[in-house]
Structure 1
Amino acid sequence: MSRVKKRVGVDLNLPRIDIDLAKIAHNARQLKKLYGAKGINIIGVTKVIGGNSIIADVLVQNGIEILADSRIANIIKMRRAGIRGQYLLLRTPALSQVQEVVIHAHISLNSELEVLKKLSEYALKNHIIHKVVLMVELGDLREGIMPSEMDAIVKAVLKLKGLALVGIGTNLACFGGISPDADKMNQLSSIAMCLEEKFKITLAMVSGGNSANYKWFTSSKDVGRINSLRLGESIFLGREALCRKPIPGLFTDIFTLLAEVIEAKRKPSQPYGEVYQNANGDTPKFENKGLMDRAVLAIGTQDVIVSGITPKQKITVLGASSDHMLIDNTETSLKVGDTVAFDLNYSALLRTFSTPCITKNMINQYECASIL
């Protein structure tokens, strides 16, 4: 297999991640069309890209009207970059950040009455109407109000000035891995309709979940009152989030991580000496395969979740410390200065965008602009 070469002074700094903007634009449009066929609006989740303003702008320009992030700092960054749209805070606001949430986020997901009261207080101080969505616990056991407590919470929220109750939602398949199946979605729809009837209100948003909802969506003729989904993985990786299967018609190769070889030598396959914990706190064991061709890459666990990457070349990742990745180089014979390319899963992608030490390289910007 041919090697990907790095030419000093020509390529961008390594390690880096190449990001195909035209493919992001395509996936956003296709998903909007797919879910829109059954009356479901999609919200673009930007947390995995660290609120990157260039990528966020691609989403907005391709029909994504609401951007959602779990970090208020990312929302502030996108707004200061001039990215227009509605902004939704995904994570229940921390009491220490309530004022920033009211000022910078148009909508927030909530599950605590104490927090809602503080949102009301700061909304009134800032002469703002802050929109809130109440999260319902349906079994995944992350955030959410127990269904039996919803009536009391809604009654209290409707009395809070400065707040507008615009919807309810749920989160599944994140912590507990619970599927957003027909039973769960029917339950959420039923809760929405009961609340509307009892309190004489209209819930504009009934948010059924995230990229894990694809299987439910494609197998359901009637989606009930579900009219909103929060999508990140499907947009950026082209996959559903239950079994990580590709969604037909979407690109799954938008991101490519590249790292440079900084050492290539023939060494023993098994470390030698008295064994204690390594840099990761593990006590490793290695099979003795005799001498082998090994290489060291200039990337480590502080840059990427190593278990979440898949090499595009015929190499095997042996492990990593914070700054170095070790690979079996027997089949590929990489040399110092060569570049190794990797695909990433969602967790690995999240880590790469969380570190400033990975160069973010936007490609196909012209192609992206030409289709806007």
Structure 2
Amino acid sequence: MKEIAPRVEIDLRKIKHNAQVLKKLYGEKGIQITGVVKGVGASLEIAKTLIESGITSLADTKIVNLKRMRMAQLNATFMLIRTPALSEIEQVVQFADMSMNTEIEVIRALSAEAVKQHKVHSVILMVEMGDLREGIMPEDVPDFIRQVLPLPGIRMAGLGTNFACFGGIIPTEQKMKEFSDLVKTIQKQFSLLLPYVSGGNSANYQWFKNTKDVGMMNHIRLGESIFLGRETVHGSPIPGLYQDAFCLVAEVIESKWKPSVPFGDRGRNAFGETVSFKDRGMIRRAIVGIGRQDVLVSGLTPVTPVEILGSSSDHIILDAKSSSLRPGDEVRFSLNYGAMLSVMTSPYVYKKYLHASEKDDSSVNRTSA
């Protein structure tokens, strides 16, 4: 019987290997890892694999995902890494052990709810270091902390920052020193010991490898480098890690010789785009049954020797080249982070977990050092 398609094949053995290597690597310089599972839809199978690898803290941006992991009784600390919305405060306190924050109004609401639920909720204040997503401006941090410390039900757990997510700002030696200097100043000024100095994400790898001093940083949030084995500033493979833990498989639903350029009066396509086409003469055009509704097509790279010509909401059109693709054949694709995120959150793409019972095998190919 044919396998379900489209599907994403997820090699849990490779994910576990990547997580263990990174945990050891960062741990050698005193940095603990939180596994960020938002890019994999907070898959319980993957979350359990991270815990088995020794990672004890899991993070997501969506409270519904933290709730699902909490209800599954996973043995981990749960972190909300998007500033909480005022409309979800009750659930944040209920299902997240800690959250990253930038608004005093939100923290006051967390305080009131924590008191109501007889809990202590930990907060990490995010500092703006130039990427211009979330963050308190550095000069405003002391006054902000003065307002946080007296709040009942709130534990000031740390300071964090973010790089290369919105503005593409790189965590350079200078940027990281500025962040560490701020942490030192805050700890001295308020006589605080901050258990979390969260200095970034998968974009920090090159800085981490090259720096002689990680400064005050003792925590990092990793998703892409665990799942895809890459740092995110240049997209370079990390030595010793697998880059192919995820593979998208789609089924051919049509394969015919057709012109390479549409014929007739032409306007915009279904997405409002005006597309140009290269005249290749007659080619074998193959269509696979998946499209933009389910995957970021620009983030796919065919493993099968074909070329992506374009896509609509439910179709990807390929130049089959020398491949004798027929209906029912399968085409395999590697994924970047955006493509992985989209297929993992699509309800229309089947998830197939490989090696669920054997997650350690050094014989599988991975990037060499």
- TM bracket (short chain): over 0.9
Distance 1:368 1:151 in 2: 46
CA contact (8 A) 2:13 2:361 kept: no
Question: Is 1:89 paired with 2:52?
Answer: no
1:331 to 322, 325, 336: 322
Instruction: Return the match for 1:98 from 77, 89, 100.
Output: 89
Measured against aligned partners, the alpha-carbon deviations of 1:121-147 in whole angstroms (never above 9, x if no partner) come to 100100010000000001000000001
Partners of 2:117 and 2:239 lie apart in 1 by 46
Query: What do the CA deviations read for 1:81-100 (whole angstroms, capped 9, x no partner)?
Result: 22110000010001111111
Q: Match of 1:257?
A: 248
Whole-angstrom CA distance in 1 between matches of 2:213 and 2:245: 32
Secondary structure, counterpart of 2:25 in structure 1: helix
1:112-191 paired onto structure 2 within 5 Å: 112-191=103-182
> 1-side partners of 2:360 and 2:178: how far apart?
42
Q: Counterparts of 1:247 and 1:266 in 2: how far apart (Å)?
A: 41
Q: Tell me, yes or no, if structure 1 residue 30 matches structure 2 residue 21.
A: yes
Cα offset for 1:366?
2.1
Once residues 344 and 369 of structure 1 are traced to their aligned partners in structure 2, the CA distance between those partners, rounded to angstroms, is 22
Cα RMSD, aligned residues only: 1.1
**CA-CA distance at 1:330 after TM superposition:** 2.3
Paired residues of 2:17 and 2:360 also in contact (CA < 8 A): no
Kept after mapping to 1: 8 A contact 2:9/2:247: yes
- 1:322 aligned to 294, 313, 316, which one? 313
Unaligned runs of 5+ in 2: 363-369
Distance 1:58 1:238 in 2: 16
Deviation of residue 209 (structure 1)?
0.3
Q: Structure 1 CA distance, aligned partners of 2:301 and 2:210?
A: 31
Aligned pairs for 1:2-17 within 5 A: 9-11=1-3, 13-17=4-8
Query: Shift of residue 364 of structure 1?
Result: 1.1
List runs of 5+ in structure 1 lacking aligned partners: 1-8
Find the residue that maps to 1:192 and give its secondary structure.
helix
Q: Which piece of structure 1 moves more, 362-371 or 293-302?
A: 362-371
SS at match of 1:365: coil
Q: TM-score, normalised by structure 2?
A: 0.97
**Kept in 1: contact 2:228–2:245 (CA 8 A):** yes
Residue 59 of structure 2 is matched in structure 1 by: 68
Q: How does 1:169-318 map to 2 (within 5 A)?
A: 169-318=160-309
Q: Deviations over 1:53-101 (max 9, x none)?
A: 0100000111111101011111111111221100000100011111110
Q: Match for 2:148: what amino acid?
A: V
Identical aligned residues as a percent: 49
The CA distance in 2 between the partners of 1:122 and 1:93, in whole Å, is 13
Q: TM-score, normalised by structure 1?
A: 0.96
Moved over 3 A (4+): none
Matches of 2:251 and 2:78, distance apart in 1: 37
Query: Contact conserved, 2:16 with 2:360, CA < 8 A, in 1?
Result: no
**d(CA) in 1 for partners of 2:197 and 2:280?**
56
Residues matched between the structures, number: 362
